[in-house]
Amino acid sequence: MRVRFWGTRGSIATPGEGTIRYGGNTSCIEVQSASGTRVLIDCGTGIRGLGDLLMASGARPVCGHILISHTHWDHIQGLPFFVPLFIPGNEWDIYAPQGFEQSLQETLAGQMQYTYFPITLGELGANIRYHEIVEGSFLAGDIHVHAQYLNHPALTLGYRLEADGAALVYACDHEPHSRPLAAGDGAIGGLDQRHVEFLASADLVIHDAQYTAAEYDSKKGWGHSTAEYAAEVSRCAGAHRLALTHHDPRRDDASVDRIVTDIRRRVAASGSSMEVFGAAEGLVVELHGATDLHLPLLPGEVSAIAPPPSALFERTVLIAVADAATAAAVLQAVEANGIRAIVEADGDRALARALDERPSLVIVDQHLPGVDGPAVRRALRGGGGEDERDVPIIVVADGEKNAAPGAEGVSDWLVKPFSAAYMRTRVRSWLLRTPCRWQKAPLPPDEEERLSALQQLGILDTAPEERFDRLTRLAVAIFDVPTALVSLVDRDRQWFKSGYGERVRETPREMSFCAHVVAGRAPLVVPDAMQDERFADNPMVTGEERVRFYAGQPLILPDGSCVGTVCLVDTRPRELDERQKGLLADIGELVRRELLLADRQADAAAASARSPTGG
C-alpha cells in the first residue's frame, strides 16, 4: 500500500509561511493498493490538489472510494472542488457514518446549497454511490476496510485498511475515552483498550494529535487527542509507525517539530522502536507489512453496511438516573435521536422495567435509591430476563476518579460534566454498535412475474370470505395458536385475506415473516423469534404484537409464482412436529385451491363482461 498525505491540518485550512512544511490544507489521505485500488480518507481542502493531479494524469475513467470519518467541515469541505466527481464516466463510492436526522446525501448536499456553492450535489456528472455505514467491515476493491467508532461530539468512524500484507489505521477526530489518559500514561482499559486493539500491529497509524498534554485541561470534551495519548495507544498496540496529524491551526512548523521531537523522546524512553513523525502534506509512505490478512470478509464479521434506519427508531433506552437535571439532559439527548426513552429515578423500578421492556441501551447512575447502580448492572448482566442479549450499559459518574475503565459490566462511562452533543453521539454509537437482528427478506428472482400473478388473482383488498375464514379458524383450533392468517405478499405490504386473531388487514413488507417464506419458496418455522438473528429486532417481535413463534406454508400457483402463505403466529415460543407440519401443508393446499377458485371466478367474470350479451 502506498499512502500520500494531502491534508494534515485540523479544524480550518491555514495557508501561510508558518505552515509550509507540514501544510495548511485540512484532512485528506490517499491510499493505493498494489493492484491500483484507490481509497481516499476524508475530503478536507487537501483533496482539491489530488483531484487536479488525477485529472492531469490523463487516465480515464478516474474511479475510487472515499471514506469520510464524519461530516464536520474540515473533513468534507474539499469535496465540491474534487474535479473527478464532475466528470461523466467516473465512478465513485462514498462511505460515511450513518446519521439519524438526514441521509449522507442530504448532509453533503447541505454544504452545496445555492447559498453556499454554485453547483449542487445532484449536478455532479460522475456516477456516485453513497453508502451509510456503521461499525464493521467491507471491501473497497481489494482493500479490506474495518470501521470503528471514535470518541467525538459527532458520530465519527476510524478506518483500518488492510491490503498487500500491510495495515494502516486512520483515527481522526478522537478524544481519549478516559480523560486521564490524555497525559499519555496510566492503565488503559474499556473503550480505550478497544481502540488499542483497533490499531493492533498496524504498519502505520495516522492519529489525531491536535493538542499536547499540557494544553488538554482547557480542551476537555472538544473531541481531540493529545500527541501523548496518540503515542501511548499506538505503542501499546505494537504499531510500527505513527504519523501525528490534525495539527492545531495555531501550530506553526516549528511547534509541530517540537511536539514530534518530544514524542520521539518519550517513545524511545519507553524502550519502543516505533517510528514517529509529523504528517506533512506531500509526504509519501510505502507500506510493505507482514500483517496477517483477513481477506475476504471473515465468517461472523459484521458488515458495516448500515441496517434499515427504521430499525433504530424501534429501540428503547432506559434512563435510570437519580439527579433530575442530569436525567433531563440525558432524556433530551436520547429523544433528539428520535428514540423512545423510559425514565426511572428509582433502582427497583428501573430494574423491573429493564427486565420487562428489554431496552437496547441502559444508562444508569452510579448511585440510585433502592437497588443501587452496580446491583442493577449485575442483575442485568446475570440474566433473569428471557432475552439474554448483552445490553450495553453506560454508567453516569461524578468526576473522572469515580470512573474505572474496564470495570465489570460497564460498557462505557459518562463523566459529568458532559455536553449535549457528546451525550447524543454516545447514545447513537451504542445503539448503532448493537448489531441489528432484523433482516428484510430478499426479493425473489421472479418478483415482477410473481406480483403480476398475484394481481391477476383479483383478490387483493376484497372483503373477507367465509371459504378462507373457515380455514384459518380450523388452523387456530388444530394448532392451538391465537392467530392464523392467509397472507398475500404484495410489493410493499403483506395483506391478509383472512386473519383469525389479527386486528389489522395489512403490515409493511419489511416486517413480514411471510416475505421470507415467499423468498425461500419453502415452509418456514421460527420456534422463538427472539432467539433468531433474522427477527429478534423486528417490530413485530419487539412491539405490541410480541410475536415469538411463526410457521408459514408457501402458497404456490400452478405457474410457479409464490404469492403468500397460510401461517400460524403465537406469542409463546413453540415447535411444530412432523405430523403438525404435514397438517399445515394440508391447510396450505386447501387455501391454494380456494385462491385458484377465485382466479377462475375472476376469469369467468372478465369473460362475461366482454361478452356482448352480458351475463
Residues at the contact surface with Zn ion, assessed by CB under 5 A: 72, 74, 173
Query: Considering the complex, what minimum distance in angstroms separates the CB of residue 339 from Zn ion?
Result: 23
The residue among 74 and 192 lying less far from Zn ion, judged by its C-beta, is 74
Least distance from C-beta 172 to Zn ion, angstroms?
A: 6
Cα 59 to Cα 80: distance, rounded to the nearest angstrom: 21
The minimum distance between CB 224 and Zn ion, in angstroms, equals 8
C-alpha cell at position 267 = 517513545
Crossing angle of helices 420-433 and 324-336, in 10° steps, is 60
Closest CB 505 distance from Zn ion, rounded Å: 48
Q: How far is the CB of 515 from Zn ion (least distance, A)?
A: 40
The answer to whether the CB of 34 falls within 8 A of the CB of 23 is no
Q: Taking CB positions, which residue lies at the least distance from Zn ion? A: 72
Q: CB-wise, 173 or 570, nearer to Zn ion?
A: 173
Nearer to Zn ion among residue 174 and residue 266 (C-beta): 174
Are β-strands 493-500 and 483-489 bridged in parallel, bridged antiparallel, or unpaired?
Answer: antiparallel
Asked if residue 464 lies in contact with residue 498, where contact means CB atoms within 8 angstroms, the answer is yes
- Toward Zn ion, which CB reaches closer, 67 or 319? 67
What whole-number distance in Å separates Cα of residue 124 and Cα of residue 491? Answer: 32
Q: Which is nearer to Zn ion, 156 or 360 (CB)?
A: 156
Q: How far is the CB of 26 from Zn ion (least distance, A)?
A: 7
Question: Which residue, 124 or 155, is less far from Zn ion as judged by CB?
Answer: 155
Nearer residue to Zn ion within complex by CB, 171 or 481 = 171
Measured between its terminal Cα atoms, the distance across the chain in Å is 78
Q: How far is CA 26 from CA 51, 76, 268, 311, in A?
A: 15, 9, 30, 35
Contacts of 70 (CB under 8 A, 6+ apart): 96, 97, 152, 154, 155, 156, 157, 173
Q: Which helix (H) or strand (E) holds 157?
A: strand 157-163
Nearest distance in Å: CB 175, Zn ion = 10
Which CB, 26 or 291, lies closer to Zn ion?
Answer: 26
Q: Measured from the CB of residue 30, what is the shortest distance to Zn ion in angstroms?
A: 18
What is the Cα–Cα distance from 63 to 51, expressed in whole angstroms? 11
C-alpha angle with apex 56: 55 to 62, nearest 5 degrees?
A: 30
Q: Which is nearer to Zn ion, 72 or 315 (CB)?
A: 72
Q: How far is the CB of 71 from Zn ion (least distance, A)?
A: 9
Residue with cell 476518579: 401
**CB of 90 vs Zn ion, minimal distance in Å:** 27
Report d(CA 193, CA 27) in Å as an integer: 25
Order of strands across the sheet with 28-32?
A: 127-133, 91-97, 64-67, 38-41, 28-32, 2-7, 284-286
Smallest distance from Zn ion to CB 77, Å: 10
Q: Compute the least distance from the CB of residue 25 to Zn ion, in Å.
A: 12
Nearer to Zn ion, 74 or 281 (CB): 74
In angstroms, give the least distance from the CB of 514 to Zn ion. Answer: 45
Whose grid coordinates read 489518559?
181
Do β-strands 361-365 and 393-398 pair in parallel, antiparallel, or remain unpaired?
parallel
Which is nearer to Zn ion, 42 or 545 (by Cβ)? 42
With respect to Zn ion, which residue has the nearer C-beta, 72 or 251?
72
CB-neighbour burial class of residue 89 (10 A; exposed 0-12, middle 13-18, buried 19+): exposed
Q: Evaluate the omega torsion of the peptide bond into residue 405 and state whether it is cis, within 30 degrees of 0.
A: no
Cα–Cα distance between 321 and 15 in angstroms, integer? 48
Taking the CB of residue 386, how many other CB atoms lie within 10 A of it? 12
Q: Which residue has the cell 509507525?
A: 241
Length of the chain: 615
C-alpha distances in Å from residue 226, one per residue of 201, 220, 285: 21, 10, 23
Output 72 or 437, the one with its CB closest to Zn ion: 72
What is the phi/psi pair of residue 277, to 5°? -145, 165
CA-based nearest residue to 119, from 74, 80, 154: 80
Residues 445 and 152: their CA atoms lie apart, in Å, by: 43
